[in-house]
Amino acid sequence: MDFGELFDALPSPHMVLDRELCYVAVNRAYEQVVMRSRDEMIGRHLFDLFPNDGESGRRLRASLDRVFATGETDTLAYIPYDIPRPPELGGGMEQRYWTAVHTPVSGSGGSERYVMQNTVDVTDIVRLRQAASLPFRRGETQLLERAREAEEQHRALLTESAEFRRLFQMAPGFFAVLSGPDHVFTFANDACTRLVGGRQLIGKSVREAFPEAEDQGILDLLDQVYQTGARYQTEERSVMIRDLDSGELQETFLDFSYDAIRDGDGNITGIFVQGSDRSEDVRRQHRQRLLLAELNHRVKNTLASVQSIVSQTLRSTPDPAAAKRDIGARLAALSKAHDLLSAQEWTSADLGEIIGQEVAVFDPERISLDGPRCTLSPRSSISLAMLVHELSTNAVKYGALSSETGTVAIDWREQPDGTLKLSWRESGGPPAVQPERKGFGTRLIESIVSGEFGGSYEPSFSDQGFSCIVTVETAVLRGADSGT
């Protein structure tokens, strides 16, 4: 069968437009009703041949655009549209009234490449309606009026539907409509598209658009809902989604539900998916639990440190007033380290900030600090704060800071062998003399360096003043808290 001849022989006017609204084909009936030959129309733009800047032109263009946008048939039940008369028929414009049905025509790739218009000229019926003296045509004019009212209602429904679609499209939660047993995306809002990294979803099955879902049991859940109609709902479910740029799987936590979609006969035709991304909430709750556990651990460690500081200070300092002063200063040093760590949510602190905080009470002209940034674990931060406090206390009591001109230079460097070397050098004060017995401060320093850090402490006493070098493995300073 020659479909071209069949199309040409159709008694009702038909024409076909491409996406640019240029004529692709017309049949003989269409040529007659618009008073143009196909040679004049093929390849020409619809609105170049039949211009209309008024409401009718806008309605016609909107109808054609809807067909290309939605892939669904659209009807104009009543539209006044004047057409130009050819010169041989006197020229000018002729007032005409039409009913038009616009049907999408798919190309080889499956998308709508053309639209076919079936046109009915209803001018005679309209003119009969206007001729009220012919009552026997009243039924026809009422029919036309009902068609016009139906179109107006249809347009109102389209506007309402478009508004609902826009609201769903912009909703903060994700929504999708899956059709058929293969779960093909027929709708996905912006949040759903963002969730999967901007992938193209419409027209693809879940297996095609989201292949990582298969190994996570998601396809099995969809099959179960499609087969049984039973609703599925879950909260904070871990779902791995592949990042399209890096190719890596990233964990998300989702609240979502699957609901069966049924037709008028009760048959399941698809699945409605809705949910929200709870990843930030879940991670925030996880961090809070970790912080609470860390806080409980820190409180126990702090109480043990306070108990040790008080008992050993009292044993080594017979003067109650001096013991009270030393205990207060050591607890203040401990408190400062806690404040700095609290500001960082007990995750880490910088070595330079810890040292700077402990020597901030002294004249900055007399203290010099030099070294790169070095991140410390919470436990290392507190231990280093206590170490620097004891060195500062000794400098005030016996060393460079006991005079008016003495200075202290503190520097630290990471070594090629993976250690960090911290140097404390005093100058301008009295000569340093090695004590006959170790006080609590010295024992505390040694205990921190060897016991806490597993490093070495090398003091030096000379006429120029006290100095020392502390060497510790960098990994120990940065490592996670051991829990003791």
Amino acid found at 362: F
Q: Which residues of 205-226 are buried (b: 16+ CB within 10 A; e: fewer)?
A: bbeebbeebeebebbebbeebb
Q: Where are the alpha helices (DSSP H) in 239-350?
A: 279-316, 320-343
Which of 23, 27, 115 is CA-nearest to residue 68? 115
CATH topology for 282-478? Heat Shock Protein 90 (3.30.565)
- Mean pLDDT confidence for 249-278: 90
Domain boundaries, the chain: 3-121, 174-277, 282-478
Q: How far apart are CA 80 and CA 145, in angstroms?
A: 13
Least confident of 67-81, 106-120, 171-185, 444-458: 106-120
Quick check: 198 pLDDT over 90? no
Q: Can you say whether the dihedral through the CA atoms of 450, 455, 461, 464 is positive or negative?
A: negative
Question: Judging by beta carbons within 10 Å of its beta carbon (0-12, 13-18, 19+), is residue 137 exposed, middle or buried?
Answer: middle
> Are 387 and 445 a contacting pair, CB within 8 Å?
yes
pLDDT for the residue numbered 468: 96
Q: How far apart are CA 215 and CA 206, in angstroms?
A: 12
pLDDT band at 257 (very low <50, low <70, confident <90, very high): very high
Q: What is the mean pLDDT of residues 35-51?
A: 92
Orientation of helix 351-358 relative to helix 378-397, angle to 10°: 30
Q: Would you report the helix, strand and coil content of the chain in percent, each value rounded to 5?
A: 45, 25, 25
Q: What is the mean pLDDT of the chain?
A: 80
In the predicted model, what is the mean pLDDT of residues 137-165?
A: 53
By C-alpha distance, which of 152, 131, 151, 154 is closest to 141?
A: 131
> What are the φ/ψ torsions at residue 387 (nearest 5 degrees)?
-60, -50
- Can you give the pLDDT at residue 480? 43
**Would you place residue 132 in the very low, low, confident or very high pLDDT band (cuts 50, 70, 90)?**
very low
Q: Which CATH number fits domain 174-277: 1.10.1740.10, 3.60.21.10, 3.30.450.20, 1.10.1670.10?
A: 3.30.450.20
Helix or strand holding residue 458 (H, E): strand 456-462
- In this prediction the pTM is 0.38
**Confidence at residue 432, expressed as pLDDT on a 0 to 100 scale:** 93
Which of the given ranges, 60-64, 123-127, 198-202, has the highest pLDDT on average?
A: 60-64
Cβ partners under 8 Å of residue 394, min gap 6: 441, 442, 466
Extended beta strands in 182-298, E state = 184-188, 232-242, 249-262, 268-277
CB of 206 closer than 8 Å to CB of 218: yes
Q: How confident is the model at residue 99 (pLDDT cuts 50, 70, 90)?
A: confident
pLDDT value at position 400? 93
Strands (E), 332-436: 349-350, 367-370, 375-376, 407-414, 419-427
Q: What does the alpha-carbon distance between residue 387 and residue 397 come to, in Å, rounded to a whole number?
A: 16
Which range, 235-244, 327-336, 345-354, 382-391, has the best average confidence (pLDDT)? Answer: 235-244
Same fold, 3-121 and 174-277: yes
Band (299; pLDDT cuts 50, 70, 90): low
CATH of 3-121, one of 3.40.50.150, 3.40.50.300, 1.10.240.10, 3.30.450.20: 3.30.450.20
| SS3 category, 33 | helix
CB 87 within 8 A of CB 35: no
Interhelix angle 279-316/320-343, rounded to 10 degrees, is: 170
Which range among 270-274, 316-320, 376-380, 469-473 shows the weakest confidence by mean pLDDT? 316-320
Q: Measured in Å, how far apart are the chain's first and last C-alpha atoms?
A: 90
Write out the DSSP string of 75-102. Answer: EEEEEE--EEPPGGGT-SEE--EEEEEE
Question: Residue 133 belongs to what H/E stretch?
Answer: none
179 forms beta bridges with 184, 270
